């Protein structure tokens, strides 16, 4: 999409708990930079990003030692 840059912060199979600089309630999966002529175009591009970018997150029980 012209005027849009997506920087993924995760890779397939990566544990979210291993990400640096995250809090315990949310994780940064990607950063999206969007440029547009006006707010309407920005919102349309943002909505399209939400439709195209999909993340399947699987819960993995942590091992207790």
**Chain segment 40-62, per-residue pLDDT in tens:** 999 999 999 999 998 888 888 76
For 15-46, the pLDDT digits (tens) are 888 888 888 788 999 999 999 999 999 999 99
Structural domain count of the chain: 1
Report CA dihedral (50, 25, 5, 43) to the nearest 10 degrees.
Answer: 40
The structure's pTM equals 0.72
Domain extent, residue 41, equals: 1-11+27-55
Q: Is residue 21 part of a domain?
A: no
Mention every residue, 6+ apart, whose C-beta is less than 8 A from residue 31: 6, 7, 9
Compute the mean pLDDT over every residue in the chain, rounded to the nearest whole number: 89
Query: Is there a domain that residue 20 lies in?
Result: no
d(CA 56, CA 24): 19
> Would you give the distance in Å from CA 30 to the centre of its chain?
3
Query: Is residue 64 assigned to a domain?
Result: no
Residue 65 lies in a domain: no
Nearest of 43, 41, 60, 45 to residue 4 by alpha carbon: 45
């Amino acid at each position: 999409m012209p005027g849009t840059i997506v920087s993924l912060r995760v890779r397939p199979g990566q544990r979210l708990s291993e990400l640096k600089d995250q809090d315990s309630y949310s994780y940064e999966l990607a950063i999206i930079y969007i440029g547009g002529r006006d707010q309407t175009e920005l919102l349309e591009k943002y909505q399209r990003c939400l439709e195209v970018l999909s993340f399947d997150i699987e819960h993995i029980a942590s091992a207790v030692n």
